[in-house]
Amino acid sequence: MSISSAAGSEAGSEDFEDRATFTARVRAWFEANAPRRGSAEDFSAVHVVSGQTVEEFNEREEHAVEVTRNWQRKLYEAGLASPSWPTECGGQGAPEWADEVVLAEQSRWGVSTKMFAVGLEMAPAVLFGHGSAEQRAHYLPPIVRGEQTWCQLLSEPGAGSDLANVQTRATPVEGGWSVSGQKVWTSHAGGAEYALLIARTGTREEGRKGLSCFALRMTQPGIDIRPLRQMSGGYHFNEVFIDGAFIPEIGLIGGLGDGWLVLRTMLASERAAIGGGTGARSSTQLIGLVRRLGLQDDEGVREIVAAAVIRERTLDFTRFRIAAGHRVAAAGSVTKLLYSEHARLSSEAAMTVLGLAGTVADDPESAPWIERLLFAPGLRLGGGTDEIQRNTIAERGLGLPR
């Protein structure tokens, strides 16, 4: 069940304005409040941050979070933040299509909420799919108002893609749970107020049956966040050491031992979010690079650009089919795989177009593409490797044997 359909099933939308009226209102509001793409105020790619030191990276990431927070607050105050959510969760009780209208319009402007993707896309999928009404009313309003950011605490040093082998443990204590363990490859952990945590509540021998899902407050004693330097020079990922952190009873999402079921919802949402990203329009930016370099008449370059455009349109049309309700087998894995491949191939294409200039890290034309090239392997790992996506498509989507 999608986030919007889960929310819409709880909210009456009979009195909401018709689609044409709402669409016109949304377009007029964006026209008056959103920066245009390519303008000085454009922050559609603000979630792609880098830096040569931890301090520089943290400063840029803090700025990105603040810009996104301000924009999310403006959306909320205008009644355009997740409008299909029930009113008690911070929404407007609107029909499902209202979310689609807002997202489609937002993709046309120089704005992005991808810094808050875990809170706005993955946490709601988990809470609408597995949480209680009390949990949704407790956790969702601060997210939709832009007051809280979330991250995910999934992978561990001894359990990367093998999440059934997670060993971080949650032990019952008075009033809730005490958690200890280590997580790794956590995006944006330093700026997150909460995390979706998968921890072991049963024995190791129980495997996936011994896992549970929790909402963990990150801003408390017992949590040590250590940035991991990437080959791009950035610190997008982090190690998180947990030593006796407390989770109240309301923080257990789903039943005890239902963590694997919740995790499947979370990962499907993450893959769909990655594959549904509109912030990085690689082919559009590649065309701009080619024109600035005066290579638009070069037949080899035109062939490279055409391939990028075809990949991007294929991804777009697949996403449109999913949004329109057409069945796409293993949709999240399909779009995630298409997106990670597109990002890799487009950054490689840019290096071909740049030639020797692509080796100069501080050149204004080459620097963004070098960073994308170096970050591309991370896109192919995060949310499950490309190999895992292909297995998921084959087994769950097409019904092929393991």
Active-site residues: which are they?
270
Residues contacting residue 367 through CB under 8 Å, at least 6 positions apart: 361
Largest CA distance in the chain: 71
Tokens for 108?
């046309």
Report how far apart the first and last C-alpha atoms of the chain are (Å, whole number): 25
Give, as one character, the DSSP assignment of residue 156. B
Q: What's at 129, amino acid-wise?
A: G
Sequence-ordered list of residues with C-beta below 8 angstroms from that of 8, at least 6 positions apart, any chain:
84, 95, 96
Closest CA to 182 of 204, 162, 161, 160: 160
The answer for 163, left when phi > 0, alpha when psi is -120 to 50, beta otherwise, is: alpha
Residue 168, Cβ neighbours under 10 Å: how many?
A: 20
Rounded Cα distance, 126 and 194, in Å: 14
| Tokens found for residue 116 | 């808050």
**In Å, how far are 108, 150, 183, 291, 298 from 286, measured between CA atoms?**
18, 32, 36, 9, 14
Backbone angles phi, psi at 212, to 5 degrees: -140, 160
Q: How far apart are CA 3 and CA 112, in angstroms?
A: 19
Amino acid found at 215: A
Q: Which residue has the tokens 């008690």?
A: 88
